Structure 1
Amino acid sequence: MARTDTAARVVAASPARVYAALLDPDALAAWLPPEGMSGRFERFDARPGGSYRMVLRYADASAAPGKATADSDVVDVRFVDLVPGVRVVQAVDFVSDDPAHSGTMTMTWELTRVEGGTRVDLRAEDVPAGISAEDHAAGLASSLANLSGWLQG
């Protein structure tokens, strides 16, 4: 059965600044990897129909083995919809030989101006069965916290 995970956070920045941070490869490499991981891009093309490939490395792979290799996750991401200052929709595929990580997950980032900044609502639809709800919730929350910190830095 398909699963949808969600997370939200208010960040002290305008929707335009948040949107820019969702499409800038240097910004994404800095804040998107959850705590305990680092990331680098193999390619990046931020436009509707464009895509990127990111390699995420675990600082300590013994605690959480990777999906692509023993110490890494690799994601292929396509930009499905880009609405400046409002929404970014991505189709995400994990590179893995494990069928529990197969399928395309849709990630939708919705931005809403609120008092004090922007509410960022993140919805992950069709989450692969191999990703536990608890781990995914922690990862989404960590990325949103990193985003907030990066925008304030």
Structure 2
Amino acid sequence: MKIPGSTSRPATRPATRPASSRLLALLPATALATALLAGCSGDPAPDSGSSAAASASVDPTQQVAENLSTFSYQGEDGKTALELLEQHDPDAQVQGEGENAFVTAIRGREADPATEFWGLYVDDEMATVGAGSLETKDGQTITWKLEEIEK
């Protein structure tokens, strides 16, 4: 018997995916968003630079380290480039101390000692002294660039 004003439709529920399937579907988008945010945020310094590529199968944090080729921050009166580097990247790896310090890794990206080094630049000019000797000034842009050793 048909009720007036009603339409006849099959009584079916819309298909729903299990929760685990929905989570797996979100994983690539989440990984991409995380990689993009990590590459753009430059945390903890708002003006730090890095570049990253995204892939759902690789940890985005690891990719940032692998692809990092520059890292920047602002100078501060009375602080050396090395002091500020260690402030902006507490995990930076440094050999030696003070004026003899040599930076070997920034943000987890280690320079290959046979072919690369981290070069120090102030306002796009290569520094003439080491990071432990370079007194920075407010308004300067301090940039570390991964450079190839010329043979």
Taking structure 1 as the reference length, the TM-score comes to 0.26
Task: With a CA cutoff of 8 Å and minimum separation of 6, indicate the structure with the bigger relative contact order.
Answer: 1
Give the structure with the larger strand fraction.
1
Larger radius of gyration: 2
Taking structure 2 as the reference length, the TM-score comes to 0.26
